[in-house]
Structure 1
């Protein structure tokens, strides 16, 4: 595969990954600038996540109809244009609406990009692509809180969106030159790749695992929404300081990616999931129950990423254990879509709880992670009933 094709893909995925976290530390500034209460800014985050989840299921049909490379470039252009519109927003309603546009581009961008890459290389070489996929999906979200906080403090929250414009424009122009835009994909994504709800509904372990992943995402995104607001509002910290406190959580996620295989081999997936989700719930509740300084909070955030990252990875692996190859692509689409919807739901629930105080909202995020543990325990019970 040509390096230029890979460069276009990585650039686009880095932009998409950044936008999952770059706005959180800037929400306090956004609320103040647009004249709303901090909690009222929550649609800025959940509108993006819900839009991503809503359009993701149609990506397969679009790639089949118009070609993965062409759909990838159009979605990248929509995402970039949505970023520019967000930077020009004049009130909360316009910003939320433009975030929906941005999310619509981002929701198609990831599956279309993967289809484009898979079409560009033979099957025996596709495993090598994983290391390139990890870079934008893990590193970019890790940099998002720090970059977003710094941009909000040094310039304006609008730069959290403007930063996408030069990268997106360059990637679109480069893509027009290097990507094969004619015809459909040779790794064919047909209409039947849309959500096979009827077939997957029979797999209770998959459904419960998907529910657990969605609840864990709800807790995590809810916490990432609440904590920067609390840190800035109650402690008078800057957006940069809030981002730096959150940053170790992403480092913990990176470490979890390297450790999860070894942990599961040593203790088993079930124990890794139970300890990780239970530990995540406890760690989410600690800032609500005790006053912690910056460094204890950084250590706590690292621990959150470390334990929760391993648990969620193990949930995904075990949830797909009974899914056959013929359903894998469609099952993954369902899994990721529901997980993104869960993240948006968590932001909304925690925003409602802020009316009772920031600490109450953090306890809601902890309860969502605890609910994920309950859902996954039900999946194990189903599995043991079927295979005594």
Structure 2
């Protein structure tokens, strides 16, 4: 059967490797949307206690304001690749932005926890499409020769989101009200919407392939159920709880069924045929291990700073800022090197730097010097700037113009799923280690309450905080092992400058015919 026609005319090959004004404008608009989407994943974390008080509910119920958003992201991401091909990336991006802003406005009007969760789902449906669509638009604008540099631009909000989210959320709640963590998206979203209309090039989609309804019925609920089960592990404290096993197993079975379906379907919802591309395969494996380690360990230090050192959420976020600064320093440099030498060596260096930084936290104590912690975080940030987006570049730079939308969708699904698995895994390890030392839990509770601390002998309090710090340091060992393992698939990433993806795609297909 003949291949369907491309939905958009291929972009001309750029005559210069520098990012021209047109590409930078497109990248700037995409970053605005990405910042909103990513910040809203993390900004709500510090608002959960406020939601508990405001709506008189439990932490488990209030946490659904995060879980509902994440599950909505997971549900809509698989649809994005097909919809972008069918309706055009610009049109779909405008719809996603509108839906996200509308969801933000609705969230600010919530009158109980149930309506807030429902409105967060609406917000997540729009937010889930922004990142893969933004990556597709930027890839088409820059061309394969400059994708490393534009991915470096997009990587800034991806790395800064987990750091800036708690800071912004804490500041807005302390100085205004919880409504503003959602209302702040409205002016930013309107600006992004107007700029998108002006800056993004028009696309003329053509009907090319039928919608994979069977795939949708298998992939979207399968992914959502699986992530729901995995996300329930920390609250349940075990993987054998019914709330964990039942949805996770049903979701996994649906995803397995989707794999068999996708391999026998010419135009599946998620194009698993992309794994015929060697670079894509190793990039996916690398991203899985990296995302599990990165997103999982990302919750450790803020929690340590608040529970063991007694810092506020705002100060905890500020103390982690050197990590973002390190990424901002290395990311533009890494982007340029990737475009000239390929992503393989850059990613290896990045993982090595992250391993060095993480190794420091394996020795964490209850009184570890902040100066050394900030230095280690800066080193980790340097490594992250050389890692996440170069891995994305390794996956996308060898795809043809027609495959880009499906490729970015696949990578975002992998990123979201692996991140949820990492968060759940690290949370369970830390929880079990803390539960093994009753004095640690008592000391953490006392650290948050001066009245309780005054009733505990200083020696007992100091011993408990030491045990708690060791629980965190031992959990960092798990993260370090996962990061080091990432070196294995990273070794096989491309180590040469990107060639013509159209020709590369044709050659790869020919090898498997």
Q: What pairs up with 1:293-332 in 2 under 5 angstroms? A: 293-316=369-392, 327=403, 329-332=405-408
**Which residue in the other structure is 2:220 paired with?**
none
Match of 1:65 among 86, 94, 101: 86
Q: Does 1:228 align with 2:302?
A: yes
Q: Normalized against structure 2, the TM-score is what?
A: 0.59
Q: Does 1:285 align with 2:305?
A: no
Match of 2:414 among 334, 338, 344: 338
Following the alignment from structure 2 to structure 1, what is the Cα–Cα distance between the partners of residues 475 and 114? 26
Q: Report the aligned-residue RMSD.
A: 4.6
Q: Is the 8 A contact 1:63 1:71 kept in 2?
A: yes
Following the alignment from structure 1 to structure 2, what is the Cα–Cα distance between the partners of residues 202 and 105? 31
Following the alignment from structure 2 to structure 1, what is the Cα–Cα distance between the partners of residues 487 and 363? 23
Task: Tell me the alpha carbon deviations over residues 117-164 of structure 1, each in whole angstroms, 9 at most, x when there is no partner.
Answer: 677x69699879938944863686364343223223323444322211
SS of the aligned residue for 1:235 comes to coil
Q: Is the 8 A contact 2:283 2:490 kept in 1?
A: yes
Following the alignment from structure 2 to structure 1, what is the Cα–Cα distance between the partners of residues 146 and 390? 22
Q: Which runs of 5+ in 1 are unaligned?
A: 384-388
Residue 98 and residue 230 in structure 1: after superposition, are their counterparts in 2 closer, same or farther (change >3 A)? farther
Q: What pairs up with 1:90-239 in 2 under 5 angstroms? A: 95-115=116-136, 130=150, 133-134=153-154, 137=157, 141=161, 143-172=164-193, 174=194, 178=198, 184-185=204-205, 192=267, 194-197=269-272, 199-202=273-276, 206-239=280-313
Task: Tell me the alpha carbon deviations over residues 70-99 of structure 1, each in whole angstroms, 9 at most, x when there is no partner.
Answer: 321221122123333444556666555544
- Quote how far apart the aligned CAs of 1:281 are: 4.0
Q: Number of paired residues?
A: 379
Task: Tell me the alpha carbon deviations over residues 274-298 of structure 1, each in whole angstroms, 9 at most, x when there is no partner.
Answer: 52353354245344x5532444333
* Greater helix fraction, Structure 1 or Structure 2: 1
Bigger shift: 367-376 or 105-114?
367-376
Report which structure shows greater RCO (CA 8 Å, sep ≥6).
1
Bigger shift: 297-306 or 12-21?
12-21
Residue 337 and residue 65 in structure 1: after superposition, are their counterparts in 2 closer, same or farther (change >3 A)? same
Q: Which runs of 5+ in 2 are unaligned?
A: 1-21, 212-266, 435-467, 495-513
Match of 2:314 among 210, 221, 240: 240
Q: Normalized against structure 1, the TM-score is what?
A: 0.74
Q: Is the 8 A contact 1:228 1:242 kept in 2?
A: yes
- Quote how far apart the aligned CAs of 1:313 are: 4.5
Following the alignment from structure 2 to structure 1, what is the Cα–Cα distance between the partners of residues 402 and 202? 27
Following the alignment from structure 2 to structure 1, what is the Cα–Cα distance between the partners of residues 52 and 431? 15
